[in-house]
């Protein structure tokens, strides 16, 4: 083997990451190799902090202890839960919308059948969401998935699963078009869609 085994093995691990390729893994390792000590230390420090985070026991957002900053915050409106596919949608909603309820992170979408693990994870989390809604007597669930095929399939799945619980279910709609991803939406559209959401 021409490469040292640690380089070869790391390359294989990194190449498995979503959207990463073998060449991408090489470029990442090259970048690391070219960093000076300060750059390496900074990266390792942040990475170490990241690895110490846990999924929140209630909503699966990033948490330092058992619960995330939102589930821990007594001032948040606990009667509303906004369901999102990715934790990275939270800062967008926090910044642009002024929403004060809680969140629930699905960890993916109900996508085409070749991503079975992702579907399994989402379904498992939806079961936990149902327990939470029943226990907390949640009044409204706001579905904020993308307007892509997978995002809409996920919204339909949520509706079917949650409507038996008698909770009000709504989805952001106004101003969005088929194929739109929330992360690319402009602040005004997102704000309007949040205040005028469609009941499902
Ligand atoms: Zn939480």
Of 18-32, 67-81, 106-120, which range is least confident?
A: 106-120
Report the mean per-residue pLDDT for the chain. 91
pLDDT for 100 equals 94
Ligand 1 centroid – CA 170 distance (Å) = 20
pLDDT of residue 67: 97
CA–centroid distance, 33 to ligand 1, in Å, is 37
What is the reported pLDDT for 174? 66
State the average pLDDT over residues 37-60.
95
Q: How close is the Cα of 129 to the center of ligand 1, in Å?
A: 12
CA of 103 to the centre of ligand 1 (A): 7
Please give the Cα distance from 120 to 186 (Å, whole number).
32
Mean pLDDT of 113-141: 92
pLDDT bracket for residue 95 (50, 70, 90): confident
Q: Cβ contacts of residue 84 below 8 Å, gap of 6+?
A: 90, 93, 103, 104, 105, 106, 144, 145
């Amino acid at each position: 083997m021409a490469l040292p085994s640690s380089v070869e093995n790391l390359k294989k691990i990194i190449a498995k990451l979503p959207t990463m390729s073998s060449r991408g893994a090489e470029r990442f390792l090259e970048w690391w190799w070219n960093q000076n000590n300060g750059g390496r230390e900074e990266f390792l420090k942040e990475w170490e902090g990241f690895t110490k985070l846990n999924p929140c026991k209630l909503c699966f957002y990033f948490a330092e202890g058992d619960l995330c900053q939102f589930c821990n915050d007594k001032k948040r409106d606990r009667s509303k839960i906004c369901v999102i596919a990715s934790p990275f949608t939270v800062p967008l909603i926090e910044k642009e919308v002024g929403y004060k309820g809680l969140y629930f992170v699905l960890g993916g979408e109900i996508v085409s059948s070749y991503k079975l693990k992702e579907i399994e994870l989402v379904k498992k989390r939806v079961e936990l969401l149902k327990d939470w809604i029943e226990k907390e007597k949640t009044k409204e669930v706001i579905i904020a998935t993308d307007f892509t095929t997978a995002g809409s399939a996920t919204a339909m799945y949520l509706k079917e699963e949650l409507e038996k619980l008698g909770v009000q279910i709504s989805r952001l709609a106004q101003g969005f078009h088929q194929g739109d991803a929330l992360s690319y939406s402009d602040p005004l559209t997102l704000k309007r869609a949040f205040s005028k959401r469609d009941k499902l």
